[in-house]
Structure 1
C-alpha cells in the first residue's frame, strides 16, 4: 500500500471512528443506532476496497464521489464544497475573485478567451475574444480543461502573468503580460432609460452587493426622469436571500412581510419583513422573468406579485422554493445544505419538484396540477403554489431555429465574429450596428468552407419513428409518406440560410457588437428587438391596463393557469 493510500485510509478511519464513538455515546435511540451501524459498515467496506481492489484507488477521490452521490440523492442544492472549491463558492456569493477578468471556454483542444470584461486586466492587456491560449507563465495549456486553465489564471492578486496566445487571422504568436487583480463582477451590468419615462435595470445575480447596485441604479434613473421601472430577472439563477429581501424593500413600505422560511429546526424559522424606508413605494414596476429565473429571483418577483406592487411578465419561473445554509466542516471544507422552504407573502411555496417523494426509478416528479393550492394576493387576486411564479401576463418564449442552435453550438457564429473583429478597427454604436448583405454572404461562404453540417431534431424524431415503424412492420405501407415528410423537413443549408437570415443576422451582429462594445454594448443591442421588453413598456405606458392587472379587473390569471 502506498503512503498516499495509507494516509487516506487512516484519515477516513479516524473520522469514522470519531463519529461512531460520538453517536454510540450520545444516545441509544434507534435513529442514532442506525447511523452508527452504517458508518461502521461504510468504514469496513472502504477498508476492504482499499486493501483488495485489483487496481490502485485514490481514497480522497473515492470518498468525495460517495459523498456527492449521497447528497445528490437528497436534492441538487445540498452539496459538499471542498477546500479547493471555496474560491468558486465565494465568487458565487460575492462576485469577487482575483484573476484576469474574462470568461474562458473550451473550443476543440484549446481553451479560448470567450469574453474579456471591459476595464479589467485581460481587456487592458489587449486580449480579445477568440484568442487561443497556448501558455500561462511558461506552462502549456493545450488540451487542458477549462478548470485547469482557470486555476492557473486565478489566485493571489498582484501576481504577474504572462500568457501566450494564437489569434485567428494573425500569423505570429502573441505574448501578453499583466498583473492579476481583484475582480468585482457587477450584479447590475446594465441600467438605462429605454423610453421617454421608462427606466430599465438588468440584475444577473444576487451577490452581496446586488441590493446596493439596484438602489444606485434606481436612484439614478429617477434623476433621469424615470416614472416607471422594468426590473429584468430573466435567466437570473438566484443567490443570497438577504439581498432578495433588501431589493423588495426598495419598493415596498416598511413593515410589509416579504418572505417566511420554515424547516425542520423550528428555532431557525423566521419571518422577514421590510425594515427600511423604501426608495419608492409608488413607482410602477414590471418584473421580467423566464424559466431561468430561480430562487432569489422568485422571491423578488413573487413578493412583488403577492403584494400587488407590480406586474410580472414573461414565462413561468423555475420553481426553487428551497433555502440553503452553509455549514463549516473540518479542513476548510463546507456543506451547503437545504434547511428550509420559503413562503412568499400570500403564504405559498413555489417549489416545483418534490424531492422527498421520488418515483420508483429514483426520478423526481413535479407537483400535479390537481394538488396545487389556491392563494390570494393582497388585492385578492388568485395565485397558486407548487410550480414557480406564474406571470400576470404570460408570453411564449421565442425559439431559435435548429440551424441557429447548431451554428452557435459549433462555434460558427463565434468564429466568424472573431475573424470579423480581427479585420475591422471599429464598428457603429451598439444601437446602430447592422450586418449588411455582403457580410452575411461572407458568413455563408465562411461556414461552407468550414464544411458545416447539421441535423434537426425533427429529422432525428422521424428516424426514430421510421425505426419503430419497421419493427412493427408498418413501414412498407407508408414508405411514400415517410419519404415525402423526410424531404420537407430535411436540413437544407442554402434554403435555411435564406429562411432564417434575419434571425442569424441578429445573432451574428450581437456577437460582433460584444467584440467592440463589450458586455454593455451587447445588452444594448439585444434590448432593441426584445419583444418581452416592448410589451413591458406598453403596459407601463397604459395606466388603465397596468392598474387593471393589479386590482384583478382584467383577470389574466384565469387564462394563464
Structure 2
C-alpha cells in the first residue's frame, strides 16, 4: 500500500515537473498553474511520507479537489468513477432497481412511494412497508442512501427484501426482479375542472419535452381551454429540454435563451426550432422558491413574451449553465461554463460567486441593484434574483400542531391504520374524511407523543427571560402568569381549531395509499392556493389580459 502511494506521489511530481518546464514562460499564467501543481504534489509527498498515520490517497485527493471546486460555486463538481452511475440517473432519470422511493420514519426504513407499474408495485409492496433486510443484510440502522444502493443493480437481476407490514403478524420475504426504471418527468397530468388542464413537471431529464407535449395534446383533446404548468420545486436539468418545452408555447424561430461564458466560441443563441403546439391558449405557470435553472428558463421565456401568467413565489435564481468534461480513469468534471439570459436580456443569477466576503461567504444580489428589462408588451421585469411571479402567493404557514403531527410521522402512521379498516375509498378528487372518522383519529392519538410550542408561547418565554435579566420579572410576574394561562395551548382544543387543516394533510396521506403519487396530486387541488389562484384568473379573462398588457 505504502509503495503504491509513493509511486502515485512520484508520478504526480514528475508530471508537475514536466508541466513546469513546458509552461515556464515569463508573464504566462500557466507558469503559476504549474508552480502550484508542483507545490501541491510536493506537499502530498511529504504528508504521505511523514504523517503519523497511514494516508488514503483517494480520500485525501478527493477532499482536496472538492475543497478547490467548492471555492468556485456549488454546481462545479468532481464526479469519480464510482459515482458516475448516480450522475447518469440524475441526468437521464434512469437506473436499474425496484422502482420505489424509500426514506426514514421514526428511524425505520420505509417505502414512501412505489412507482406504478414497476417491480415494487407489481410485487404488492405498499406505502408504509418497513424494509428489514436486503439480500440478507439488515438495514434498519443503515442510511437511506446505503439502502438505495443495495436495492439498485443491473436489470433482470433479483433482490430479496424482507418486509414488515402493519397488520401482518409475521415478517415476509419478497423476491423482486430489478428493471430499468425510467422516472417520469411528468408524474401527473389531468383535468382540474371541465376546462382547465394541469401538467406537473418535476424534472428536466431526457424526453421531458416529449412528455409535456404528449400531456398538452391529450389535455386539449379532452377539452382543456386553459393550461396550468406546475414547475414548483422543479430543480431544473437539461438546457435542451427547457428550450424544447418553451417552444411548445412560443412561435418557431423566436429566441428562447442565450448563453455567455469565457470561451466566446461556446456562446450561443438558442431559438425555437419547431412549430409550437399552442400559442394562444391561456397559460399559467406555477413557481416556487425551489424552482431553479431550467425551470427558470421556461418561466422567464413565458413571462418575457407575455405568453402566460406566473403565479406563486419568486424562483431560486440559478442562472448558470454547466457542462461535463471527461477526465482520466473514467471520472468527469461538471463545470459552470456560462450564464444564461432570457429573451428580454436578463440573467436571473441571484448569487455572485466571483465576489466573496472576507470569510468566504457569498450573498444574494440586493433588490436595489437589480436591473430593469422590458417584456414584449413593455412590462417591467428584473434580473439578478430569480423570476418574480405576476401574482405572488406566499409560502403557506401551518399551525404548530399540524407541523408536529407531520414531523412525528403520526399522519403517515395513521394512514396505514386507516387502510386496515377500509379496503377502498372514493376517487382521489372526491374523497373526504368524515367527522366520525376524524374522531377515530383523535382517539388513536390519545396515547401518542406530539408536544409542540406555539410562536406566542415562545415569545412569552423570551419576555420572561429578558425580564429576569433586567430585574423586571418580579414586578410583572402576576400579569405574565395570567397571560401564560390564557395562551397555554391545549392539544384537544387545537385538534378541533385546526381540524380542516389537519384533515387536509391526513386525507392526502390516506389517498396516497390507494391512488399513489397521482392520487396525492389530485387530492391537493381543492386546497392548493396556487391552483385556486390560477383558476380564478382563468375565470376572469379581462384581468388575465390586463396583467399581460401591464395595465
Q: What is the TM-score with the length of structure 2 in the denominator?
A: 0.94
SS at match of 1:355: coil
Moved more, 133-142 or 342-351: 133-142
Equivalent of 1:11 in 8, 11, 14? 8
How is 1:463-478 mapped onto 2 (pairs within 5 angstroms)? 463=461, 466-467=464-465, 470-471=468-469, 473=471, 475=473, 478=476
- C-alpha deviation, 1:192, in angstroms: 1.3
Deviations, residues 214-237 of structure 1 (Å, cap 9, x unaligned): 111111111112222111111111
Deviations, residues 358-384 of structure 1 (Å, cap 9, x unaligned): 222322211112211111001111111
How is 1:331-370 mapped onto 2 (pairs within 5 angstroms)? 331-370=329-368
Deviations, residues 493-518 of structure 1 (Å, cap 9, x unaligned): 22322221111111111011011111
| Residue in structure 2 matched with residue 246 of structure 1 by the alignment | 244
Moved more, 29-38 or 73-82: 29-38
Deviations, residues 44-92 of structure 1 (Å, cap 9, x unaligned): 3333333444444433223222222222221111112222222221122
SS at match of 2:125: coil
Equivalent of 2:19 in 11, 18, 22? 22
Mark the CA change 1:378 to 1:6 in structure 2 (over 3 Å): closer, same or farther.
farther
SS at match of 1:449: coil
**Separation in 1 of the partners of 2:243 and 2:133?**
45
SS at match of 1:158: coil
How is 1:289-300 mapped onto 2 (pairs within 5 angstroms)? 289-300=287-298
**Separation in 1 of the partners of 2:399 and 2:14?**
58
| Residue in structure 1 matched with residue 279 of structure 2 by the alignment | 281
**Separation in 2 of the partners of 1:473 and 1:50?**
60
**Separation in 2 of the partners of 1:225 and 1:505?**
32
Mark the CA change 1:231 to 1:168 in structure 2 (over 3 Å): closer, same or farther.
same
Structure 2: which 5+ residue stretches go unaligned?
none
- C-alpha deviation, 1:486, in angstroms: 4.9
**Separation in 1 of the partners of 2:240 and 2:334?**
16
Equivalent of 1:129 in 127, 130, 133? 127
| Structure 1 position 408 matched with structure 2 position 406 | yes
**Separation in 2 of the partners of 1:148 and 1:76?**
24
Contact 1:8 1:60 in 2 (8 A): no
**Separation in 1 of the partners of 2:461 and 2:28?**
55
| Residue in structure 2 matched with residue 112 of structure 1 by the alignment | 110
Deviations, residues 393-423 of structure 1 (Å, cap 9, x unaligned): 1122222222222222221111111222244
| Residue in structure 1 matched with residue 83 of structure 2 by the alignment | 85
| Residue in structure 2 matched with residue 184 of structure 1 by the alignment | 182
Contact 1:413 1:511 in 2 (8 A): yes
| Residue in structure 2 matched with residue 99 of structure 1 by the alignment | 97
- C-alpha deviation, 1:273, in angstroms: 0.7
**Separation in 1 of the partners of 2:459 and 2:428?**
40
Structure 1: which 5+ residue stretches go unaligned?
554-561
SS at match of 1:97: strand
Contact 2:16 2:41 in 1 (8 A): no
Moved more, 293-302 or 424-433: 424-433
Equivalent of 1:380 in 378, 402, 420? 378
**Separation in 2 of the partners of 1:375 and 1:204?**
29
| Residue in structure 2 matched with residue 559 of structure 1 by the alignment | none
Contact 1:9 1:59 in 2 (8 A): no
Equivalent of 1:40 in 38, 41, 52? 38
Contact 1:326 1:336 in 2 (8 A): yes
Deviations, residues 457-484 of structure 1 (Å, cap 9, x unaligned): 5545655565455445555555556555
| Residue in structure 2 matched with residue 430 of structure 1 by the alignment | 428
Moved more, 210-219 or 469-478: 469-478
- C-alpha deviation, 1:149, in angstroms: 0.8
**Separation in 2 of the partners of 1:9 and 1:105?**
42
CA RMSD of aligned residues (A): 2.2
| Count of aligned positions | 550
- C-alpha deviation, 1:27, in angstroms: 4.7
